[in-house]
A = this chain, B = another copy of it.
Amino acid sequence: MAEARERLVAHLRVTVGENARLGPGKADLLEAVGQEGSISAAGRRLGMSYARAWRLLSELEVGFGRPLVQASRGGGGGGGARLTPLGAEVLAAYRRMQVQAEAAVAAEVERLRALLAQPAAEEAPAFHEGETGTPDQ
């Protein structure tokens, strides 16, 4: 579900507040944390180090002003992490946006794909002329 990112036709990155940026990577990470119940397990599943996973979540927390993940040390299994209500809400919102954006874009992508398939159709070799709108600056 995270590797499918390679096959998405449209990748979406949204800027919510001033510093709160959310893209496919952090969305997948939130999802993995919610499913695995652990930051380190989520990192392993996504092929990233715990340190990086933690840093990404920390960036989210800074950006949103409060934590999207609530973690605990010690205890059964050593500890764990789960999404806060805010975290779950943010993840769900991102997934909805992703679906909507992909739908909104599908037609144009299809057009582009068709253009890409065309075998070039010789274009007039004429061109040039030095009208450099605003030369140096």
Q: How distant is the Cα of A129 from the Cα of B63 in the complex, in angstroms? A: 28
Interface string of A5-18 (1 = CB under 8 A from B): 00011111111110
Copies of this chain, how many?
Answer: 2
**Interface residues of A, dominant DSSP:** mixed
Q: How distant is the Cα of A112 from the Cα of B120 in the complex, in angstroms? A: 44
Q: How distant is the Cα of A132 from the Cα of B37 in the complex, in angstroms? A: 6
Chain A interfacial residues counted at CB < 8 A: 64
Are B127 and A72 neighbours in the complex by a CB distance under 8 Å? Answer: yes
Q: How distant is the Cα of A123 from the Cα of B14 in the complex, in angstroms? A: 26
Q: List 17 A-B contacts (CB under 8 A).
A: A11-B12, A11-B14, A11-B15, A12-B101, A14-B105, A16-B113, A36-B133, A41-B133, A64-B115, A66-B120, A70-B127, A72-B127, A77-B132, A77-B135, A96-B108, A100-B105, A101-B104
